[in-house]
Structure 1
């Protein structure tokens, strides 16, 4: 039996790299959500949110960024499943 060590090393490095990337992107999504919650709680604590018409708002860019991060993670998972299920 002959093992192609270079192919094995390339696969291991690619798997490790993609795993680290997906975890980092997911962590960025969680960070964006927590920062948005901090902004919302700060606004509610000061009372600056009342009457401005921004109730429930609070940094929509953070929410959009979090959704984008989670969508990227979901796409990576689906792509991995497609690669596994491909004949």
Structure 2
């Protein structure tokens, strides 16, 4: 049995980068939503933080849906 170590390393590297990116996006979304729980500065800043948080969560959901699509297809 031969193991293609280059392909294994490539899969490991890509999965590591994608995992860190998704965790980072989700963390940014949580930080954006936590801005409304703290002392609210101006109304525009709060709306921008909430919109950015929802965008981060949407990107996370899209990445997960694409991953499921790749597994099923």
Settle same-fold status: TM greater than 0.5.
Answer: yes
> Quick check: 1:29–1:67 contact (8 Å CA) kept in 2?
yes
2:57: which partner in 1? 70
The structure with the largest helix share of the pair is 2
Report the TM-score when normalising by structure 2: 0.88
The number of aligned residues is 73
Aligned mates of 1:76, 1:58 — CA distance in 2: 27
Which protein has greater RCO, CA pairs closer than 8 Å, 6+ apart?
1
Gaps of at least 5 residues in structure 2 are none
Aligned mates of 1:85, 1:2 — CA distance in 2: 27
Structure 1's consecutive aligned runs of 4 or more residues displaced over 4 angstroms after TM superposition are none
Compute the displacement of 1:39 (Å).
3.4
Larger radius of gyration: 1
Other structure's SS at 1:36 match = coil
Gaps of at least 5 residues in structure 1 are 44-53
Aligned mates of 2:6, 2:45 — CA distance in 1: 50
**RMSD after superposition:** 2.0
> Quick check: 1:29–1:65 contact (8 Å CA) kept in 2?
yes
